[in-house]
Structure 1
Amino acid sequence: MTGQPRRAIVIGGGLTAMLTAQALSSWTDVLVIESDTLPERPEPRKGLPQAAHTHVLWSGGAEAIEGLLPGTAKALEAAGARRIPLTTGMVAYSPKGWFRRWAESHYAITCSRDLLDWVIRGQVLKDPDSRITVMERTKVLGLTGSSASITGVTVRTDDGQDDTLPADLVVDASGKGSRTPFWLEEHGVQGPATRKVDSGLVYASRIYRAPNGLPDTWPIINVQADPRGDGPGQAGIVLPIEEGRWLVTLSGTRGGEPTSDPDDFDLFARGLRHPIVADLMSKAEPLTPVQVTRSTANRRRFYERTAMPDNLLVFGDALAAYNPTYGHGMSVAAQSAVTLDETIRRHGWNTPGLAWRAQKAVAQHVNTAWTFATGTDVFYDGATESGPTASERIAAHLVDRLAYTATGSGRIARDLTEVMTLQAGPERLLRPSTLIAAARGPLKPPLTDPPLSPDERRAIESA
């Protein structure tokens, strides 16, 4: 990065790419290159098949987005997104029992992924004087430059024209199908070390019309899988989204996967560890077919440990993709964009090694999400070639104990929620007071039934 800044290029047009472009636009012109056509309404996008399933924007990610794009929270609310207080607005059955609904300490934003991406894209591009330009229907073919420094990209437009586009910085935010490992090899750079944890999880989702007469504060309903139970891990979630609808997602690991058959969908829900999800589905009107995805493996590429060429960054799912159960991908992307802006602010746009500093800095956000995502999946048969590592076993034991304690301790529930929502790192769970509380266990006896309010129970009964 020498001389005056000309342009940054962001590969991809999804949420990660848009937030990254917004962060960079404070410093330079930005060209976003997207292979598809971006929809003008909250509609499915070809490059985002996982959009049909549940997505949660945790408060750590929501606040990062608000910092980049002030007014986004109000725009999401106006579009119909729900703000769910935590843990007040969640009825969750963990392997350790029912969590209580403590006073609000954090929150989650829930809506369809199509709506979320559309609102954020609109916020990024609404300024007519924006320094961000989007080039659609254009495929990135490779990187220009050398093993020491990347100078731009080569592209092919939908009419078959090839071109070379120079840039001071290239950010790969293209998602799970990222070609950066291959492009690095073309420049004589060894690709990053990779860790893959694949529980064989299959997701099946369907949208329902929620019953009439429900309280406006209707909670998230979540029956979690038990990775140490007998047989496959099966789970279900009822997520309130815009327009009075529920997005219901069921999931199962190898040997216990859901299918796209509507009858099987209902039977699968009835076979979960508790019938509450099935009971709610029976009260609601199905609006869509069942959609299935098998692309749920956790995969992390350790670019921060790689001898990367200067001026090249990798963000989002291209860097680390997680089992969507924990909903961390979008929040990590938002926090990574903020960290990129902070790194530029600290070191300067023309500082040599800026990309490496930013790559290393965003690893802290990835670490937290990775610990949660793999801490459960790694214990399923066939998830890895060698099974859990010693550190993964220790971390899982600690999280299990904390989860058990959180069923009857508001303070530990808040600590866990703070890390889950990415508003604190895992070190929050290692404070002496937290470890002592975990050793003592829950302060209240276990709940035997879902912690629904009287109004919620009446609404279900009368639906």
Structure 2
Amino acid sequence: MTASPHSDHPTADRPSGARPLRSAVVLGGSLAGLLAARALVEFADVVTVVERDVLPDGPERRKNLPQAQHVHTLWSGGAKAMEELVPGVTGLLAEAGAHRVPLTKDMVALSSQGWFRRWDESHHMILCSRDLLDATVRAQILGDDRIKLVERAEALGLEGTAGAVTGVRVRGHDDADSDSDSDSDAEYTLPAELVVDATGRASRAPQWLTALGLPEPEVRHVNSGLVYASRVFRAPENARHGFPILNVQAAPRDGRPGRSGVMVPIEDGRWMVTLSGTRGGEPTSDEDDFERFATEGLRHPVIGEFIAGAEPLTGVAFTRTTANRRYYYERSRQWPEGFLVIGDALAAYNPIYGHGMSVAAQSAVALRDVIRRQGWGTPRLARALQKAVARPVNAAWDLATGQDVFFPGATETGPTLRDRILAAYVDRLLYTATGNGRIARRFTDVSSLERGAHVLLAPSVLLAAVIGPLKAQLTGPPLTDDEWKAAGDRSS
């Protein structure tokens, strides 16, 4: 899979009189990085993806991606964007065993304001393990010979000035498991007309920019102290197809630690269950405690009741790196030509909302669309790109932090007045959505990233919020008798 960093160098000779070779470098072989590379091949002659580790050949765990062990969701807004970039990919995922789950028809969810009803399909999710999704997308993108993968290579810094980035300094490692700075590690420069940072939460873009003489970017942190614990179970035979998502959400404003849980179907007849808790309410990594937390720790025991009779296939995967962090690069007064930050390097979210992959796909589409409109190499293109990729980020950021900011210690100053006003309105809409299918659909429009949050401010939605739910609230999870029976019927 690895290409030589020198044999396919972007400065390869061209016939006399030919236009200059267009080159781009993407830092990071993450999903965000690969989708950005796919978007760029429409314009660049060669796109070099620089990856610190060695990418797996199949659906195996990628190194330094602990979140892959937890529930991942590809919302329909992200799935449509991914299909636009990689035609046929959702069909390939389905062939590999991924589930297409209709929403809200096959979602059983307890919101902070009560149980949602199961309305007719309006949107959908693609559900499978992160390993399977990454492998499927990666195989399609790296099969394009215009995209060159350089593995075991670490980006050291940007080449250029405060006005324009012209390339990236890279150190190659001969030993796949070595992080050393030994003399055998070769350093070289990859010239590029566009450098894209998709290195994730570990991004060093702020330091690289200040090294060029640019000011530090504006940043916001919202850290609820959330801890994740996940485990995979074999689903009962009658619950392996068409079984709904189970989702018990926290109540951020009830003055207690937020505890939540989600159970989703994934490939090979399995359920993946992720439990989470904020400061003072965290799950543990103890296998014996997993079912107890799901049954007694959440606001309703439905998930615990279903996994009680299911066969565990793995131990408990445990992760603490869940803080929300957002860099506002698009607000920078100075921005260099030839540089773009995307994916988790731009904004990393509490994973419980499941928007990271969808935002990555939508950002890559935005990247492509801006270059189509403005043209490769036009003045101030990089600034326009940075603003464009921020738009899908903004929607996901507001969804994530609008809840997390209310947990104790999440921010230094606590919720702002804007946070409190928006939260009060969202709570009223959630309450209305428990008994109004039209408002439930508007919520799913936003959470699926198919429409912006502005739809929640339409006059008809405001009026519905004043009126409230049209149907009485449910007193328990809206599961059918067959669904209860499929898992052993312990509660119907």
TM superposition score normalised by structure 1: 0.98
Q: Do structure 1's residue 315 and structure 2's residue 315 form an aligned pair? A: no
Q: Do structure 1's residue 131 and structure 2's residue 146 form an aligned pair? A: yes
Q: CA deviation at 1:334?
A: 0.3
- Name 1:146's counterpart in structure 2: 161
CA contact (8 A) 2:240 2:270 kept: no
CA contact (8 A) 2:240 2:269 kept: no
**3-state secondary structure, aligned to 2:214:** coil
Q: Do structure 1's residue 11 and structure 2's residue 27 form an aligned pair? A: yes
- In 1: Cα distance, 2:440 partner to 2:351 partner: 21
**3-state secondary structure, aligned to 1:414:** helix
Report the residue type matching 1:407 in the other structure. Answer: T
Cα displacement string for residues 258-302 of structure 1 (whole angstroms, at most 9, x for unaligned residues) = 111011212211121101010011021101110111111010000
Gaps of 5+ in 2: 1-18, 175-184
- Within the candidate set 418, 421, 430, 1:394 is matched to 421
**3-state secondary structure, aligned to 2:148:** strand
Q: Do structure 1's residue 289 and structure 2's residue 307 form an aligned pair? A: no
- Name 1:263's counterpart in structure 2: 288
**3-state secondary structure, aligned to 2:200:** coil
- Name 2:181's counterpart in structure 1: none
Identity level (%): 58
- Name 1:184's counterpart in structure 2: 209
- In 2: Cα distance, 1:215 partner to 1:150 partner: 51
- Within the candidate set 41, 47, 54, 1:25 is matched to 41
**3-state secondary structure, aligned to 2:284:** coil
Q: Do structure 1's residue 330 and structure 2's residue 357 form an aligned pair? A: yes
CA contact (8 A) 2:107 2:244 kept: yes
Cα displacement string for residues 99-138 of structure 1 (whole angstroms, at most 9, x for unaligned residues) = 00000000000001111111010111224xx310100010
Q: Which moved more, 1:392-401 or 1:307-316?
A: 392-401
- In 1: Cα distance, 2:429 partner to 2:36 partner: 34
- Name 1:344's counterpart in structure 2: 371
- In 2: Cα distance, 1:348 partner to 1:42 partner: 37
**3-state secondary structure, aligned to 2:101:** strand
Gaps of 5+ in 1: none
CA contact (8 A) 1:233 1:253 kept: yes
Would you identify which runs of 4 or more consecutive aligned residues in structure 1 move more than 3 Å?
none
- Give the number of equivalent residue pairs: 459
CA contact (8 A) 1:215 1:456 kept: no
Q: CA RMSD in A?
A: 1.1
Report the residue type matching 2:63 in the other structure. Answer: K
- Name 1:59's counterpart in structure 2: 76
Report the residue type matching 2:371 in the other structure. Answer: I
- Within the candidate set 325, 332, 335, 1:299 is matched to 325
- In 1: Cα distance, 2:423 partner to 2:276 partner: 21
Cα displacement string for residues 358-393 of structure 1 (whole angstroms, at most 9, x for unaligned residues) = 111122111110111001100011000011112111
CA contact (8 A) 2:240 2:265 kept: no
CA contact (8 A) 2:97 2:266 kept: yes
- In 1: Cα distance, 2:277 partner to 2:375 partner: 47
- In 2: Cα distance, 1:402 partner to 1:11 partner: 41
- Within the candidate set 86, 103, 106, 2:123 is matched to 106
- Name 1:212's counterpart in structure 2: 237
- Within the candidate set 371, 378, 381, 1:354 is matched to 381
- Name 2:55's counterpart in structure 1: 38
- Within the candidate set 413, 420, 438, 2:465 is matched to 438
Cα displacement string for residues 390-446 of structure 1 (whole angstroms, at most 9, x for unaligned residues) = 211122112111111110000000000010000001101110001110111100000
CA contact (8 A) 1:215 1:455 kept: no
- In 2: Cα distance, 1:419 partner to 1:4 partner: 43
Cα displacement string for residues 205-249 of structure 1 (whole angstroms, at most 9, x for unaligned residues) = 011111122262101000001111242110111111000001100
Q: CA deviation at 1:6?
A: 2.4
CA contact (8 A) 1:418 1:424 kept: yes
**3-state secondary structure, aligned to 1:360:** helix
- Within the candidate set 220, 223, 236, 2:248 is matched to 223
